[in-house]
């Protein structure tokens, strides 16, 4: 990397003057592409420039460096790690990983593929899913080689293990219809950590590796616009650092790894109004969609921008799932024992953001929880129905039907698992508001740039934009709606981040 100190950073005003009119951009100031002709001389030079220091960026940097490229990672915030470092660090892996084998879990690539492709939404290309599944076991080994530690212990709970276990059922594998589509296996791989600090542990290891390999990391530098040649090739990036505009040449390629856009409220409102209504934007403050807008500014296509992770954390404890969840018509609409990402998706996208958990004496949430609040209470189900203003008789019919079958451990509609299925049987009955704007209802985005198997960014005509790669939540990857398992986002970011970095680094 070369720092040409004799070349003062071009100020935006100067650039605009030299360019003439610049096309209006999408939402973020600075998006749109900068013609290479407007760049006098580069302020900094490197082979591969990575925008963003989360899981996708770190993995891209490691692979690009391993391929022999000079690598610079720039991060807009003062701290490295992104949302990945805030996360639980769960990576969705399977097909017989070393950890699965160590705890006696049987799994196969085919079952994992069946789960992701058959249970999840239709949109992620099957070839991406296939590639991910076929290489999942080797990818897990690679994470271990980078220094991420795991404990060979299996948790049987439905939530991220808090006692150091490293493997659990992180998705809806055991719920219907998933369990009929693919043989269930626990695939949530969690770094050995206490509490919810798995993401920090993961990112500490990956970022240490980035540094050890000799890649440069620079905080407080924000990618603003791609610099594009007349033939459409991406040559570098215009960045801002402490109020100064600088241009960085990327001789082999630029990897956009700037995360999602949940904190760019204008973008969320326009692209993903269902997520806009959710009560908690979930992610680090750098999730401004800048990478996505930079790509769009250079002609990239963006896919599935309305999709995201809308979560209603009903459990733990799992005993609340013995209650039922109903919509504004007083009707059930989903298996309550599914993964809370699937439940959240059903509420946010398919029930206009409104739902209630109905509990009896034995299924009440613990007194101290405040994820959602009790909004009706009574000695009969009818009492609740009146207070909630449901259509007359609807909730009573729902509960009568549910109870009649639950007595025989049957749930003809949604096949709730037997261990959580019993009739609602005794007062006090309560209704808890699970609506997206009333409950603790975190959300983050999944939409991003259209990419190929190696992270190459694709334009609206299906053509690859030379010199440009994207990964993680800057790309439209494996996570979609509904989000069927924790770990698909960090799994996708690490796996496809590596591929993007390797492809960019290998360009001669
Ligand atoms: C509390 C929480 C828990 C979660 N747990 C899990 C989990 O266990 N498993 C899972 O799969 N998913 C989880 N997720 C989701 C997951 O963390 C993210 O989807 C994933 O980490 C995104 O990775 P990334 O590398 O694409 O982006 P990030 O990790 O967000 O990294 C992007 C980085 O780019 C920087 N950046 C942005 N724009 C620019 C710019 N213009 N110039 C320079 N830098 C820029 C950002 O500041 C950020 O540091 C969780 C999310 C949250 C909030």
Q: Is 51's C-beta closer than 6 angstroms to any atom of ligand 1?
A: yes
Confidence of residue 12 (pLDDT cuts 50, 70, 90): very low
Mean pLDDT of 140-167: 94
> Cα(369)–Cα(430) distance, rounded to whole angstroms?
15
Q: Which residues contact 407 (CB under 8 A, 6 or more apart)?
A: 423
- Residue 385: pLDDT band by 50, 70, 90 thresholds? very high
Cβ of 159 below 6 Å from ligand 1 = no
Q: Whose CA is nearest to atom 14 of ligand 1?
A: 87
Q: Which residues have C-beta within 8 Å of that of residue 49, sequence separation ≥ 6?
A: 71, 72, 74, 236, 237, 248, 250, 253, 254, 255
Query: Is 293 near ligand 1, meaning CB less than 6 Å away?
Result: no
- CB-CB contact of 175 with 339 (8 Å): yes
Angstrom distances, CA of residue 197 to CA of 59, 84, 142, 341, 369: 19, 10, 20, 20, 21
Ligand 1 pocket member 284 (CB < 6 A): yes
336 lines ligand 1 (CB under 6 A): no
- Ligand 1 atom at shortest distance from the alpha carbon of 55: 25
Domain 1-33+40-238+273-309+446-508, CATH? 3.50.50.60
Q: Is 47 helix (H, G, I), strand (E, B) or coil?
A: strand
- Long-range CB pairs of 209-215 (<8 Å, 24+ gap) are 209/58, 209/62, 209/146, 209/147, 210/58, 210/61, 210/62, 210/65, 210/71, 210/73, 213/61, 213/62, 213/65, 213/66, 213/71, 214/65, 214/71, 215/61, 215/62, 215/64, 215/65, 215/71, 215/72, 215/73
pLDDT(20) > 80: no
**pLDDT, tens only, 470-504:** 999 999 999 999 999 999 999 999 999 999 999 99
Name residue, tokens 């007359």: 392
Instruction: Give the pLDDT confidence of 291-328 residue by residue, as tens digits.
Output: 999 999 999 999 999 999 999 988 888 999 999 999 99
Please give the Cα distance from 16 to 493 (Å, whole number). Answer: 35
Residue nearest ligand 1's atom 41 by CA: 223
Q: Which of 324, 463, 451 is nearest to 398 (CA)?
A: 324
Q: What is the 283 CA–ligand 1 centroid distance (Å)?
A: 6
Per domain, the residue ranges of the chain are 1-33+40-238+273-309+446-508, 312-440
Main-chain dihedrals φ then ψ at residue 155, nearest 5 degrees: -100, 145
Using the mean position of ligand 1's atoms as its centre, give its distance from the Cα of residue 45 in Å: 26
Give yes or no on whether 1-33+40-238+273-309+446-508 and 312-440 have one common fold. Answer: no
pLDDT band for position 122 (cuts 50, 70, 90) = confident
pLDDT-wise least confident of 60-74, 115-129, 200-214: 115-129
Torsions phi, psi for 322 (to 5 deg): -75, -15
Whether residue 386 is predicted with pLDDT greater than 70 in this model: the reply is yes
What class is the 312-440 domain?
alpha beta
pLDDT of residue 329: 97
The whole-angstrom separation of Cα 465 and Cα 18 is 25
At residue 316, the pLDDT reads 87
Tell me what the pLDDT averaged over the chain comes to. 92
- pLDDT for 508 equals 67
Closest atom of ligand 1 relative to the 92 alpha carbon: 11
In which band, very low, low, confident or very high, does the pLDDT at 264 lie, cut at 50, 70 and 90? Answer: very high
Ligand 1 atom at shortest distance from the alpha carbon of 56:
25
pLDDT band for position 22 (cuts 50, 70, 90): very low
Work out which ligand 1 atom sits closest to the CA atom of 221.
43
CB 84 within 8 A of CB 223: no
Q: Which atom of ligand 1 is nearest to 222's Cα?
A: 42
Q: Which of 26, 84, 248 to mutate to test the pocket of ligand 1 (most atoms within 8 A of CB)?
A: 84
Q: Please state, as a whole number, how many other Cβ atoms lie within 10 Å of the Cβ of residue 375.
A: 16
Asked whether residue 242 carries a pLDDT value surpassing 50, the answer given is yes
Q: Give φ, ψ of 295 to 5 degrees.
A: -65, -45
pTM comes to 0.93
User: How far, in Å, is the centroid of ligand 1 from the Cα of 169?
Assistant: 22
- Most confident range, picked from 16-30, 110-124, 136-150: 136-150
Residue nearest to atom 27 of ligand 1 (CA): 259
Residue identifier of the C-alpha nearest atom 46 of ligand 1? 286
For ligand 1, say whether the CB of 191 is within 6 Å of any of its atoms: no
How far is ligand 1, taken at its centre, from the CA of residue 80, in Å? 11
Find the mean pLDDT for residues 143-169. Answer: 94
The helix, strand and coil proportions of the chain, stated in percent and rounded to the nearest 5, come to: 35, 20, 45
Distance 204 CA to ligand 1 centre (A): 14
Paired strand residues for 485: 171
Share of the chain above pLDDT 70, in %: 94
Q: State the average pLDDT over residues 169-183.
A: 97
CA angle 96, 102, 107 (to 5 degrees): 25
Q: How confident is the model at residue 367 (pLDDT cuts 50, 70, 90)?
A: confident
Cα–Cα dist 475/25, whole Å:
19
Q: What is the structure's pLDDT at 21? A: 31
Ligand 1, atom 2: closest residue by C-alpha: 87
For ligand 1, whether the C-beta of 56 sits within 6 Å is yes
Cβ neighbour number for residue 315 with a 10 Å cutoff: 20
Position 124 scores a pLDDT of: 87
Q: What's residue 507's pLDDT? A: 73
The rounded Cα 336 to chain-centroid distance in angstroms is 22
Give per-residue pLDDT as tens, 321-364: 999 999 999 999 999 999 999 999 999 999 999 999 999 999 99
Measured distance CA(232)–CA(234) in Å, rounded: 6
């Amino acid at each position: 990397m070369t720092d040409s100190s004799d070349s003062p950073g071009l100020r935006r005003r100067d650039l605009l003057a030299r360019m003439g009119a610049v096309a209006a951009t999408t939402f973020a100031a600075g998006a749109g592409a900068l013609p290479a002709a407007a760049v006098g001389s580069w302020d900094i030079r490197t082979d591969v420039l990575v925008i963003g220091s989360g899981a996708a960026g770190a993995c891209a940097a490691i692979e690009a460096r391993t391929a022999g490229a000079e690598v610079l990672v720039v991060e807009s915030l003062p701290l490295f790690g992104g949302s990945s470092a805030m996360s639980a660090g769960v990576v969705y892996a399977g097909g017989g990983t070393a950890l699965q084998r160590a705890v006696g879990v049987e799994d196969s690539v085919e079952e994992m593929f069946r789960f992701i492709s058959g249970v999840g939404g239709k949109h992620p290309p099957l070839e991406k899913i296939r590639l991910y599944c076929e290489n999942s076991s080797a990818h897990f080994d690679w994470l271990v080689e980078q220094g991420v530690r795991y404990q060979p212990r299996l948790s049987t709970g439905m939530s991220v293990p808090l006692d150091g276990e490293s493997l659990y059922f992180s998705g809806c594998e055991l719920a219907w219809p998933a369990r009929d589509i693919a043989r269930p296996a626990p695939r949530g791989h969690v770094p050995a950590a206490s509490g919810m600090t798995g993401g920090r542990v993961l990112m500490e290891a990956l970022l240490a590796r980035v540094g050890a390999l000799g890649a440069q990391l620079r905080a407080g530098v924000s990618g603003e616009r791609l610099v594009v040649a007349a033939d459409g090739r991406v040559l570098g990036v215009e960045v801002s650092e402490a109020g100064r505009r600088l241009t960085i040449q990327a001789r082999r390629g630029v990897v956009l790894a700037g995360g999602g856009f949940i904190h760019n409220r204008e973008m969320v409102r326009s692209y993903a109004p269902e997520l806009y209504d959710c009560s908690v934007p979930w992610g680090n403050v750098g999730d401004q969609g800048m990478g996505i807008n930079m790509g769009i500014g250079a002609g990239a296509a963006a896919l599935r921008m309305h999709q995201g992770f809308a979560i209603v954390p009903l459990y733990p404890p799992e005993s609340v799932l013995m209650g039922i969840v109903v919509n504004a018509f007083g009707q059930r609409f989903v298996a309550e024992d599914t993964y809370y990402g699937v439940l959240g998706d059903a509420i946010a996208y398919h029930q206009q953001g409104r739902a209630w958990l109905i509990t009896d004496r034995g299924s009440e949430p613990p007194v101290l929880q405040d994820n959602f609040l009790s909004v009706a209470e009574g000695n009969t189900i009818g009492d609740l129905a009146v207070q909630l203003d449901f259509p007359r008789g609807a909730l009573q019919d729902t509960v009568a039907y549910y109870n009649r079958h639950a007595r025989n451990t049957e749930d003809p509609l949604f096949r709730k698992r037997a261990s959580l299925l019993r009739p609602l049987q005794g007062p006090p009955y309560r209704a808890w508001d699970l609506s997206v704007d009333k409950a603790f209802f975190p959300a983050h985005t999944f939409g991003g740039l259209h990419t190929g198997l190696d992270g190459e960014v694709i334009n609206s005509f299906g053509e690859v934009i030379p010199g440009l790669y994207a990964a993680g939540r800057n790309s439209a990857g494996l996570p979609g709606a509904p989000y069927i398992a924790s770990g698909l986002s960090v799994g996708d970011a690490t796996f496809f981040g590596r591929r993007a970095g390797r492809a960019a680094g290998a360009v001669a």
